[in-house]
Amino acid sequence: ETSIFMGRRLLPSWFAIALALPLNCQTVTCFSPLASLPAQQRRSLHTATKMLVSPYATKPYPVGVAGTSWGLDDRKAWLARQVNQRSYAEEVLAKIEALKTSSVFTCEQYGELSVDPARYPLFVFKSREWDAAKPTCLVTGGVHGYETSGVQGALLFLQTEAAGYVPRFNLVVAPCVSPWGYEHIQRWNNNADDPNRNFKAGGPCDESNALLKLVGDLRASGVAFTAHVDLHETTDSDETEFRPAKSARDGEAYEQDSIPDGFYLVGDSENPQPEWHSAMIESVRKVTHIAPPDDKGLIIGEKPVGDGCIVYPIASLSLCASLTGAAYCTTTEVYPDSPSADADICNKAQVACVVGALDYILQKQ
């Protein structure tokens, strides 16, 4: 069956009518052919993993030469294919502006993206009454801009739960690290670089460098971070678009893989903190289902170290979760394309994870 790729979705051709919707409309970015089904029926469709057939499983990715890593011209050709599909100003900055009236947080601009500084300012919220005796927690969203609930979940946390933790924590929240990626529904930035592999000195990404400087300045002023929760998603388009694109960019052969159906966490293999991760999983379980392993006993190719949890060497991979040196650090992975989930559930799952993370730390004090 012919398919149409739009945003995070690979839609069958009979959904072509959806193209009549405005591309900057939130409905488009969260559109699912299963959304109209009753919740109970959607839950009955839940499976452990989803094997998706990418359009590039049988043909070359349309940029570059197979087996050859991209040069500058290839990256420019890739950029020319990208389309602005939603509005950072309307969907993110408007909410940030409303939150600036908060009596418990300050909001400041910590940078901007050189691709369009006026269009893409970067903002961070901090506890107004800062107390060096309190533990400090960083929450980041939208490091991968196309992962919508990372951004909207961070904003929802600020809107609903964050104020309740201010008496016990210093909170730092950067809700949208990659606004160009948010607007273009892209994992990479405008130069085809992945911000979440470039949290290192001298890296190529404005997104990563601005956050590195923000955190570096705080640490230089004496702030010691206790925890960092970095909010992400695993989407169907990881398999249908972004993994094939990465293989093409890096001159490698694309190998088909599966997508876990459910929420999971990625901890630090050098500091796994299993009890903390278990507490977050149990908090999220109240909102959405946890990803089980696939038929090989793996989650995205890794052996779980606990229910819904795998670990990576986050520092050597230059992941965002490594930038604070916190004792507790993790990356969330919500699955927005599950028949058992919708945008609201995904955003609330991100909030539940942050709440679970903070509650555990409070219990340990």
Q: Are 225 and 37 in contact (CB under 8 A)?
A: no
Listing DSSP states for 235-302 in one string gives -HHIIIIIHHHHHHHTT------EEESSBEEEEETTB--HHHHHHHHHHHHTTSPBPPP-TTS-BTTB
Q: What is the pLDDT of residue 30?
A: 37
Tokens 């570096």 sit on residue: 216
Q: What are phi and psi of 33, to 5 degrees?
A: -65, -15
Q: What is the pLDDT of residue 223?
A: 97
What six digits make up the tokens of 125? 């919220």
- If you average pLDDT over residues 160-168, what whole number do you get? 98
What six digits make up the tokens of 207? 């997104």
Sign, CA torsion 284/228/159/209: negative
Nearest to residue 249, comparing CAs of 181, 183, 189, 177?
189
Give CA–CA dist 141/229, Å, rounded: 9
Q: What percent of the chain has pLDDT over 70?
A: 86
Q: What is the pLDDT of residue 4?
A: 33
What is the average pLDDT value for the chain, to the nearest integer? Answer: 89
- If you average pLDDT over residues 278-301, what whole number do you get? 96
Name the band, by pLDDT with cuts 50, 70 and 90, for residue 51. confident
Residue 29 has pLDDT above 60, yes or no: no
How is residue 20 annotated by DSSP? G
Give CA–CA dist 309/277, Å, rounded: 7
Q: What is the pLDDT of residue 329?
A: 98
pTM: 0.88
Tokens 């739960």 sit on residue: 161
Q: Are 279 and 306 in contact (CB under 8 A)?
A: no
- If you average pLDDT over residues 292-320, what whole number do you get? 97
Q: How far is CA 97 from CA 94, 102, 155, 183, 222, in A?
A: 5, 10, 11, 18, 29
Tokens 């630090």 sit on residue: 268
- If you average pLDDT over residues 253-268, what whole number do you get? 94
Q: Give the length of the chain.
A: 365
- If you average pLDDT over residues 161-185, what whole number do you get? 98
Name the band, by pLDDT with cuts 50, 70 and 90, for residue 321. very high
Residue 16 has pLDDT above 70, yes or no: no
Strand residues in the chain grouped as ranges (E): 3-6, 9-12, 49-51, 105-112, 121-127, 136-141, 170-174, 225-231, 258-260, 264-268, 309-312, 328-333
Q: Are 69 and 253 in contact (CB under 8 A)?
A: no
pLDDT tens for residues 73-124?
999 999 999 999 999 999 999 999 999 999 999 999 999 999 999 999 999 9
Name the band, by pLDDT with cuts 50, 70 and 90, for residue 48. low
Q: What is the pLDDT of residue 1?
A: 29
Q: What is the pLDDT of residue 173?
A: 98
Listing DSSP states for 296-333 in one string gives TS-BTTB--SBTTEEEE-TTTTT-GGGTT--SEEEEEE
Q: How far is CA 247 from CA 122, 253, 275, 295, in A?
A: 30, 6, 36, 25
Residue 7 has pLDDT above 50, yes or no: no
- If you average pLDDT over residues 194-213, what whole number do you get? 98
